[in-house]
Structure 1
Amino acid sequence: MPLLARVLPTMVMGAIVGVSLPLHAQDQISNADLVRLVKQQAAEIKALKQRLTVVEKHERQTDGQVAQVLARPASPVTPPTAIASTPAVQTPAQVQAAISDVRDNDIAVAQAQTAANGPQGGNDNITWGQHNEAGPRFSSDDGFFTFKPDGRLLLDFTGTNDSKYAGRNISGADLESARLGGEGTIGPLGYHVEAEFAGDKVSLRQTYLTYQMKIFGEQSKLYVGNFLKDLGTEGSSELARVPFMQRSAASEVGEPLNDSFGLGTQLFVYGTNWHYSVSVSGDAPSSSTTGTTDDSITYLTRAHWNPLKGDDGFIHVGAWYYYENISRGVASINNTPSIAFSFNQNLDVSASSIANPTQDHGSGFELGGVYKSFWLMSEYAKRTIDSSTSDAVSRHGSALSAGWLMTGETPGFSSRDGSWHGTNVIHPVTSGGLGGWELAARVDHYDFTGAPHGGDGDAYTVGLNWYLNDWSRLMFNYIRWYTDNKVGSYTGPDWGNAVGVRTQIVF
């Protein structure tokens, strides 16, 4: 039997006696006086429980050590002045009867519970709504073990019109992301398992082990498993945190062949106004992996620095670089990113197919900042692909974006790691407020003209985000787009409009 379970009943009985002794000095007790006593004793019992938890953790110590801890006397309860001054005496049976009467008073019971459990009431080992995610977080009494179920749901409705090609003027609903998993810690060790249920298949996303440590006195974190690569401000951010419904041209053009996720190892080191990361990763695990050829291996590094940082904001400067050894099983590269929402696969920029690729490398630059409720960010990415049968081909992507949180919130862009996190809403809708409102705009440019048949395109996006609370939001995006493709079904200059609405929750 745990030590706490053996000792606590004795403590409670002692506490009741501790209440009764001062009562021998009185004749009658008011409910208010008794409530004060119950609150004092509840706080004392809680403190003793915490002390005994520590004792139970070290239960294997010698009996003499345990006895010394248990021998520490509890602080006596100081009776109210009014009670102490009453000369009469009351028996323990009368005290118990008085306590029963008070228990019938809902207000008195609520006050005693508040004294015992704190202002929130309930179990101190369960917390809700932390880190901009709804849902519970469980922890052991000493905080050594933690666990939190997590997931997200992103539902889109998008439509396109005004293209000169009827095949591009389509609309529909899309399950952009549906994830379910869990995460936790075991002291400095951590784990995260998350499955994606979108795109008519199931695949692993954030699935890794972590270890917290210090390197040269700086906080560091090591990842082993399938993780999101540290690739630019939006490329290193979860889609549910980015201010727009899709990532920027710099993120989509610059990412390596084995995608934004990779199975390998990654190390982060954090300073007061900078961070540095380095990773080695192969292909992300998926149901389509056959295991008949080598993985494509990516070696990536990124760093950011805040040359100015104060209470009102900061300036962000960043850069990244990767080299990728492409698998022999890859016959060609012909990825064509959608220029406006992932649902419309016809609305893309032709990048021209590159046969027999052997390796590629990419680089990117970031410049921006945050000032009070405003933010500004510019990014540029270049990717060069080598082939054994043709000349090297370069692709370029750039983006300039800005936003204003009209209700006074601080932008969710982090100065610690240079990526997008959640927004803390000042007046949530779920608490009777207006929520957080954000106006954002972005200009994207896609340039694939380095290839013989590569096209180019532009997208001008205006977005309105309504943060209902810290973990849910509604998004509205309007995009005016332009493409000039050299090959494919939709060649030549083409303009059009696209509208998207997203509902999301993160838990």
Structure 2
Amino acid sequence: MRGLLRKIFAVATTLTIALTVGSFSETAIAAENKDDKAVLDEVLNILKDKGHITEEKYQELKERAKKEGAGKILAGFDGATPYIKSADGQHKIELHGRINFDVRSYEGDARALDSKRSNEDPNRSDLLTRLLVRRARMGVDATFFKYLGLKFEGEFSESGSASNADSRFQLTDGYGELRYWPQFQVRGGQFKVPFSFEELTSSRFIDFVERSVVNNLVPARDVGAMMHGSLFDGSLEYSAGIFNGAGQNNPETNDSKEYAGRLLVRPFKSINIPLLQKFHVAGHMTYGDQDKGESLRGRTDARFEFFPRVATQGDRVRYGFEAVHAVGPFGLYGEYVKTREERDGLGAGGTSLDDVEGRAWYVAATWLVTGEEKIHGKAPKVKNNFDPRTGGLGALELVARFAQLDFISDDPLPSPGENGIDALTVGFNWYLSPNVRLMFNYANNWYDNKKMTPVKGDETSWEIMSRLAFWF
């Protein structure tokens, strides 16, 4: 199956590039035809309004113009995104890509936990300063016959450890969607589960180098089907879906499925109060029987694992809430997420142990110092792109976030037991243009269990993360 998906993605990407390059020689002609069509429409409207042609003749000429334009291809750029589309607007293919080059470093004596989940072993692996390609993705977004959407995106960056890197292609998104009505749309394939503002925001537009520790409890991509829609001019959005529950590119291991739902409300969207137009609240939940498996884990911003997975068996329930707002150059948002994972029959003599519970929340604030408008989920419209020749400085954004995550249980967890973290992250985003930015984050972590920290004998640690990000 993975080989088939790889072939489909490669063919789609190659075809898109070939068509785009092949169309460039005709782009000027096609664009000119498009302009001619717009002028023709205007002339016909004037002639009809002045009574020089009848309504019947007007419609006849419009239909002839439409037929003459059918089959022609337009090509160009929408911002930095290359595309090709039919002249009648029925079909469109866009090529997207992104690359994140990261540098991350840890406190001098920081090491990973040992095989016993503790920091007792003096021969634990060092947490090394790393230069890595965090993401390298290419994808195709397509619309056919106006209402059929398709998306294929692949990840080409290395995964795994530095000594055992894997650069094979991995499918991120691969789905089809029917979009006849904004109020009711249907999607099927592999895509993000409708849960969490942070997770649903593309990595192109998240405000920090990495999502918060709360994201450890949140589902990401999975294979499934979902219906979703937008009502009352965008004041209400809903999503409901059924998924394998196994995660991205993972095979299903049981007959049970995971159910997910999300409801988002913009209470002030249709009310003329400019200061509250961008405010929204949302709630989401997932439920599924995971059979025999492993729990969620806890990792810091820079991916130190402070709570390794433990054995679970039975149901897993997740629910969360979010509040998000932006005014002028300022952004403010936060989330709360709670999870419960059963441990049925895993105690002595087959008895059941108390659930593994995860509790997490964060609050984040941002400020575009250079005055651009903050729009969550989008890059700012940079007033002056960085250009040392003209004095353009780009856009500068300051960011701060405080987050907390705890893993607890009323029955004992494998030694050394429970752990939790408080994490403060501060930094900046420097947008050189709407499609290029430099990011810098400093994170300070405080741990609850001193036996599960990166530096033995120290309940705190720091991490530094930076990123150069490009996308189109």
TM-score under structure 1 length normalisation? 0.67
1:331 matched to 2:277? The reply is no
Residue aligning to 1:298: 258
1:274 matched to 2:230? The reply is no
The CA distance in 1 between the partners of 2:250 and 2:64, in whole Å, is: 64
1:505 matched to 2:470? The reply is yes
- Structure 2 residue identity aligned to 1:184: A
Superposed CA offset, 1:11-63 (max 9, x none): xxxxxxxxxxxxxxxxxxxxxxxxxxxxxxx9999249977xxxxxxxxxxxx
Aligned counterpart for 2:360 among listed residues 397, 401, 425: 397
* Aligned residues of 1:264 and 1:282 also touching (Cα < 8 A): no
Residue aligning to 2:316: 360
- Structure 1 residue identity aligned to 2:317: H
Q: Secondary structure at the match of 2:36?
A: helix
Residue aligning to 2:106: 160
Q: 1:151 to 1:481 in 2, by over 3 A?
A: same
The CA distance in 2 between the partners of 1:350 and 1:70, in whole Å, is: 66
- Structure 2 residue identity aligned to 1:46: D
* Aligned residues of 1:482 and 1:493 also touching (Cα < 8 A): no
Q: 1:285 to 1:349 in 2, by over 3 A?
A: closer
1:46 matched to 2:36? The reply is yes
* Aligned residues of 1:156 and 1:500 also touching (Cα < 8 A): yes
1:388 matched to 2:344? The reply is yes
Cα deviation, residue 208, structure 1: 0.9
Cα deviation, residue 271, structure 1: 3.4
* Aligned residues of 1:307 and 1:315 also touching (Cα < 8 A): no
1:407 matched to 2:407? The reply is no
The CA distance in 2 between the partners of 1:399 and 1:260, in whole Å, is: 22
The aligned runs of 1:196-345 (5 Å cut-off) are 196-198=155-157, 199=159, 200=166, 201-214=168-181, 219-253=183-217, 255-256=218-219, 259-272=220-233, 273-283=235-245, 289=251, 293-294=253-254, 297-309=257-269, 310-314=273-277, 316-328=279-291, 330-333=292-295, 335-342=296-303
Identity of aligned residues (%): 23
5+ unaligned residues in a row in structure 1: which ranges? 1-41, 52-64, 74-122, 414-419
Residue aligning to 1:462: 426
Aligned counterpart for 1:177 among listed residues 113, 118, 135: 135
* Aligned residues of 1:313 and 1:372 also touching (Cα < 8 A): no
Cα deviation, residue 494, structure 1: 2.2
Cα deviation, residue 211, structure 1: 1.6
Q: 1:45 to 1:246 in 2, by over 3 A?
A: closer
Q: Secondary structure at the match of 1:381?
A: strand
Q: 1:147 to 1:72 in 2, by over 3 A?
A: closer
The CA distance in 2 between the partners of 1:388 and 1:482, in whole Å, is: 32
The CA distance in 2 between the partners of 1:142 and 1:206, in whole Å, is: 28
1:125 matched to 2:74? The reply is yes
The CA distance in 2 between the partners of 1:282 and 1:496, in whole Å, is: 37
1:435 matched to 2:435? The reply is no
Cα deviation, residue 229, structure 1: 1.9
The CA distance in 1 between the partners of 2:448 and 2:290, in whole Å, is: 31
Residue aligning to 1:142: 88
- Structure 2 residue identity aligned to 1:403: T
The CA distance in 1 between the partners of 2:281 and 2:130, in whole Å, is: 37
- Structure 2 residue identity aligned to 1:300: A
Q: Secondary structure at the match of 2:216?
A: helix
- Structure 1 residue identity aligned to 2:322: E
The CA distance in 2 between the partners of 1:316 and 1:45, in whole Å, is: 39
Superposed CA offset, 1:247-285 (max 9, x none): 1233322x24xx443333342324332322112122568
Superposed CA offset, 1:176-200 (max 9, x none): 1111121111111111101112312
Cα deviation, residue 308, structure 1: 3.0
Aligned counterpart for 2:335 among listed residues 379, 387, 395: 379
Q: Secondary structure at the match of 1:252?
A: helix
Superposition CA RMSD, Å = 3.4
Cα deviation, residue 294, structure 1: 2.4
Residue aligning to 2:147: 188
The aligned runs of 1:459-498 (5 Å cut-off) are 459-485=423-449, 494-498=459-463
* Aligned residues of 2:195 and 2:285 also touching (Cα < 8 A): no
- Structure 2 residue identity aligned to 1:392: D
Of structures 1 and 2, the larger Rg is shown by 1
Q: Secondary structure at the match of 1:437?
A: strand
- Structure 1 residue identity aligned to 2:306: V
The CA distance in 1 between the partners of 2:153 and 2:35, in whole Å, is: 40
Cα deviation, residue 392, structure 1: 1.8
Q: 1:279 to 1:148 in 2, by over 3 A?
A: same
The CA distance in 1 between the partners of 2:229 and 2:236, in whole Å, is: 11
Q: 1:48 to 1:326 in 2, by over 3 A?
A: closer
The CA distance in 1 between the partners of 2:63 and 2:190, in whole Å, is: 51
TM-score under structure 2 length normalisation? 0.72
Superposed CA offset, 1:76-99 (max 9, x none): xxxxxxxxxxxxxxxxxxxxxxxx
Q: Secondary structure at the match of 2:298?
A: coil
Residue aligning to 1:424: 381
1:348 matched to 2:305? The reply is yes
Bigger fraction of residues in strand: 2
* Aligned residues of 1:161 and 1:168 also touching (Cα < 8 A): no
